Amino acid sequence: MAKSRRPDETGKTEPGRPVDSAFRDEDLERRRLELEAKLAKSRPAAAEGERDGQPSRSSGYGQAMKLSSEFIAGIVIGAGLGWFIDRFAGTSPWGLIVFLLLGFCAGVLNVLRSAGMVSESGVRPPDLPDRK
């Protein structure tokens, strides 16, 4: 019966030169510290969703509810205004169609503003700092 090949702690399946585990542990620890230092440099001073080291009160679920309610509110208000105009001006269905599309656009714009993708003056890329 053939002997099964199982990897040792280094991941090798073949017999070979033994690896000094102390050297490997020191190397891994050094690499981990270097990675932590690089990550600390790349993170902003206060991570998104944290203030002074404390997590913010709004969770991802709360943020999703806020964004979806703003989007739906824009559509509902646009449709309501269109229906109201059609009802009293007799322009059915054009007022509803036009204001429903305007409500959709307003809802998308509100979501982008809340998410921080659009500023009041225009589109601002999220990766680039503001220039003054």
Domain boundary assignment for the chain: 59-123
CA distance 96 to 88: 12
- The pLDDT value given to residue 42: 81
- Summarised one tens digit per residue, pLDDT across range 37-65 is 888 888 765 455 555 555 566 678 888 89
- Summarised one tens digit per residue, pLDDT across range 61-115 is 888 899 999 999 999 999 999 999 999 998 888 999 999 999 999 999 999 988 8
**pTM metric for this prediction:** 0.48
Residues in the chain: 132
Question: What stretches of 1-132 show up as alpha helix (H) in DSSP?
Answer: 21-42, 60-89, 94-115
- The pLDDT value given to residue 104: 96
97 burial via Cβ count (<10 Å: 0-12, 13-18, 19+): middle
